[in-house]
Amino acid sequence: MKIYHLSHTDLDGYSCQFVSNFYLKNIEFYNSNYGKEIDKKMSHIISKIGNDKAVILITDLNLTKTQCQSYEEQLKDKNVKLILLDHHQTGAECSQIFPWYYLDNSRSATKICYDFFSAMFGADERLEAYCNVVNAVDIWLKNDPNFELGKVCMGAIAGAKEINKVMFEKEHIEYIFYLIKNFCEFLSLNNAHIELDNRLHGIKKEFFYLKNDDTLSNLNSNYLVRHLTSNSDKFSIDYRGSRGILTYNIGSASVIGNDFLVANPEFKFFIDITSKKSMSFRSNGDFDVSQMAKELCDGGGHKNASGGFFAGFIDSYNYDEIKSQVVNLINKKTGEQ
């Protein structure tokens, strides 16, 4: 039986998935902020479900009554069990109406999730200790002995932007789980919050380490270049007969762009577009991205490094939708198809 687990994009939300991954197998993980993104992710999940039995588990996300009704309607002809475990008081009305909507505002969603699964499959002392750390910071128990460690964990997850979740959803959750697994190593230490804070940079580097040590930026770039290269068909675009790569909110576009182009000389340019509509253009060699930036978005700059602003860009949670907008922009400006 397939399980689809949709959760929030913070420490509490990811920790719910860490708990479900501890107890269950055959899970696909998805993450969302509130509002329309939930609908987008749910539509994607529902579209993947065939006639087989499945469970959709939603954690650390509160739904509106309209959303609950819509999901029930979309699932009425499918063999799917819907479960929601949450702690946000704004879902109180829904919890009274829908039997699959469980709400308890006295515990974090992670704590609810752990209590739910451990009651069925058995307790785990270390996992429970970690869940207590998340609980302390998520519902802000300032006098709890776990609170300071929870703050460090919360900041670490909030700052874990090395792998973009829109482009690399599976790799992103793998990275988050790796960090959480390492958090658990500090639970029994004196001054655990200080020890983890001191070690965090090294822990991140160890995830990206392949052969030789380097800066976190370079290790991260090498990791992303490998994944961009192995998925180059998905991320490639064409401009006036030249092939390039398109990324979204990749971060450190100069470093990653140059590293990718050096490793893949058949690609002539590298574009990163951000949620703020800015575009970074990079090349390595004779390809002039300043002219490209000027033509596409009235931008400009240097031959190998330019920028621009795509005023008509509509941010999306789906890479294919992002790529489609850039491809349409190129076709419109160049007159090519």
pLDDT tens string 84-131: 999 999 999 999 999 999 999 999 999 999 999 999 999 999 999 999
pLDDT surpasses 70 at 337: no
* Model pTM score: 0.95
Where do the structural domains in the chain lie, given as residue ranges? Answer: 2-208, 230-334
pLDDT surpasses 90 at 290: yes
pLDDT tens string 168-220: 999 999 999 999 999 999 999 999 999 999 999 999 999 999 888 999 999 99
Task: Specify the pLDDT at position 283.
Answer: 96
State the residue for tokens 């006295």.
Answer: 106
pLDDT surpasses 80 at 68: yes
Task: Specify the pLDDT at position 50.
Answer: 82
Contacts of the segment 154-159: beta carbons below 8 A, 24+ positions apart: 154/10, 154/11, 156/183, 156/196, 156/200, 157/10, 157/11, 157/14, 158/10, 158/11
Task: Specify the pLDDT at position 56.
Answer: 98
Task: Specify the pLDDT at position 211.
Answer: 82
- Share above pLDDT 70 across residues of the chain, in percent, rounded to a whole number: 100
Backbone angle region of 306, left / alpha / beta, with phi > 0 → left and psi within -120 to 50 → alpha = beta
- Share above pLDDT 90 across residues of the chain, in percent, rounded to a whole number: 94
Mean pLDDT of 244-265: 96
Strand duo 269-273 + 27-31: pairing = unpaired
pLDDT tens string 153-170: 999 999 999 999 999 999
Task: Specify the pLDDT at position 285.
Answer: 87
Angle, alpha carbons 208-209-212 (nearest 5°) = 145
| Mean of pLDDT over the chain | 96
What class does CATH assign to 230-334?
alpha beta
Let me know if domain 2-208 sits in CATH 3.90.1640.
yes
Query: At 336, is the pLDDT very low, low, confident or very high (cuts 50, 70, 90)?
Result: confident
State the residue for tokens 């579209």.
Answer: 47
